[in-house]
Structure 1
Amino acid sequence: MRVCLLTDKPDHPLLAAASSALIEAEHQVTILNPDTGTGSPSELVIPDDLADVYLLKAHTSRALVLARFLEAHGARVVNSAAATELCQDRSWIAAVAEGAGLPMPRTRTLDSLSEALHGAERPESGYPLMVKSRHSRRADLVARVDGPAELQDLAAEWSNEPVVLQEFVANSGWDHKLWVIAGEVFAGVRPAPVGAPPDGAQPVPLVRDLPPAWTGLALRAGEVFGLDVYGVDLLDREGAPVVVDINAFPGIRGPKGAPAALAALALRRPRPGPPAYGA
């Protein structure tokens, strides 16, 4: 079987270990960086000579164009281009989650952060709040704002950034990171980006010690968003899990068994992704 990794980081531990497992099982593994070259991404492949499955780790616009091209020519892509694109837009994520009844913080979308300083868009109450780039990417904006002065300082640096404003979820300072590969759940606990616990504080129990509702919520998120490889960040709000982020094909580091699960998924047919969502 021919498996192609769509990524600019083939040496990522998850991808490298999964590739080794596939090669040991006598499957062929190739690597394609969708951001190579300046022409159309479709020029990087030959439609009559496609791999059996493409693992879409890259999330750039060129990667999505290539993934759609591959899908249009009958290729299997994990995750689908539609599901991956959906998870790049925090406004879409919030809307879809709300429609499906998934617990997420209240979210408001602004075309630019500067709008939060004026008129009806100004958050007159509800501090602290979370300010995040609408479009998820490397080095994007994720910040807690405790009042108007902090918001004004942030807007001075990110004035034209499309953002979402979310209610701040009071929590223990720990992120529960649940990673799912084809229905198999792996977990870790990391300091939350904001409101992190003091240095030396011990993490709360891992997912094996949590109520089944937590893992059930992670699995439900995959069904809603049409994902086969994904991460769900959960915070504990008075004993109940709240989804604060969903990531398509995240960098899963640490959990034993994750590379083997990914290799096994590559040999299976993924379920279809969700329909495309408008802004």
Structure 2
Amino acid sequence: MRVCVLTDKPDHPLLAETAAALTGARHRVTFLDPDAGTASPSQAVGPDELADVYLLKAHTPRALALARFLEGLGARVVNSAAATELCQDRSRIAAVAEDAGLPMPRTWTLNALSEALHGPELPESGYPLMVKSRHSRRVDLVARVDGPAGLRALAAEWSEEPVVLQEFIANSGWDHKLWVIAGEVFAGVRPAAVGAPPGGARPAPLVRDLPRAWTRLALRTGDVFGLDVYGVDLLDREGAPLVVDINAFPGIRGPKGAREALAALALKCPGPRGPGRPAVSSSSRRR
């Protein structure tokens, strides 16, 4: 079987270990950086050169364009270009989650952060609030703002940045991260990037058996967003899990069994389906 990974980081531990496992099982694994060179997606691969499955780890505009081109040729892409692109837009994530009844913080979208300086655009919940770039990328804006002075300072640096404002959810200082690969849930904790209460360094909490409500929410999130490989960041609000972030094909590090699950997913994906036929993700087939 031929597996191609679309990424600019072939040395990422999960990708490298998965490639080694597949290669050891006599499958062929190649890496393709969608942002290398200046050639158009149509010049990257021909219809007779399609891999059996493409793992879309890169999320750049060129990567998405290449994924859409490959899907047009009949290639299987995990996650799909449409699902990956959706998860790059925090405003669309909030809208889809609300329509599906997924619990998320209340979210407001602004065309530019400078608009937040004009009172009516501020959430009724007031401060503190989270300010995030609308479009997720490697170097984007994620900050907690505690009052008007902090908002003005942030707007001075990011004035024209399209953003979402979210109600702030008090947390323990740790993000609970659930990673899902083809329906198998892995868990970990990471220090919260922002919003952690004072108190200095603390030992990371142990991840034992997850509450069923958390795993159910993680799996339902994948179904709603059409994802096969993804991450969900959860916070506990009054005993119930709340989704605060969704990432298509995140950098999963640490959990045992992740590379085996990703290799198994790649091998379960059928080969090229031929142009003109709709793609069906494995998450859709689980339903």
The TM tier, using the shorter chain, reads: over 0.9
| Residue matched to 1:277 | none
User: 1:87-130, CA deviations, whole angstroms, 9 ceiling, x for partnerless residues?
Assistant: 00000000000111110000000000000001521446520000
Q: Gaps (5+ residues) in structure 2? A: 271-279
Partners in 2 of 1:118 and 1:170 — Cα distance?
A: 26
User: 1:222-261, CA deviations, whole angstroms, 9 ceiling, x for partnerless residues?
Assistant: 0000000000000111221110000000000000110111
CA separation of 1:105/1:123 partners in 2, compared to 1, >3 Å: closer, same or farther?
Answer: closer
Paired letter, 1:16: A
SS of residue matched to 1:127: coil
| Residue matched to 1:200 | 201
Q: In terms of mean alpha carbon deviation, does 170-179 or 244-253 score higher?
A: 170-179
Pairs within 5 Å for 1:151-170: 151-170=151-170
| Residue matched to 1:105 | 105
User: 8 Å contact 1:35–1:41 — kept in the other structure?
Assistant: no
- Count of residue correspondences: 273
Pairs within 5 Å for 1:258-277: 258-269=258-269, 271-272=280-281
Pairs within 5 Å for 1:114-153: 114-123=114-123, 125-153=125-153
User: What is the TM-score of this pair, normalised by structure 2?
Assistant: 0.92
SS of residue matched to 2:47: coil
Identical columns (%):
79
SS of residue matched to 1:209: coil
SS of residue matched to 2:268: coil
Partners in 1 of 2:232 and 2:102 — Cα distance?
A: 12
Q: CA deviation at 1:203?
A: 2.9
| Residue matched to 1:223 | 223
User: What is the TM-score of this pair, normalised by structure 1?
Assistant: 0.94
User: 1:134-185, CA deviations, whole angstroms, 9 ceiling, x for partnerless residues?
Assistant: 0000110000000111000000000000000000011212110000000001
Q: Gaps (5+ residues) in structure 1? A: 275-279
| Residue matched to 1:49 | 49
| Residue matched to 2:251 | 251
Partners in 2 of 1:177 and 1:239 — Cα distance?
A: 17
User: 8 Å contact 1:53–1:77 — kept in the other structure?
Assistant: yes
**C-alpha RMSD over aligned residues:** 1.5
Partners in 2 of 1:45 and 1:83 — Cα distance?
A: 22
Partners in 2 of 1:195 and 1:150 — Cα distance?
A: 14
User: 8 Å contact 2:171–2:236 — kept in the other structure?
Assistant: yes
User: 8 Å contact 1:105–1:166 — kept in the other structure?
Assistant: yes
Partners in 2 of 1:96 and 1:109 — Cα distance?
A: 14
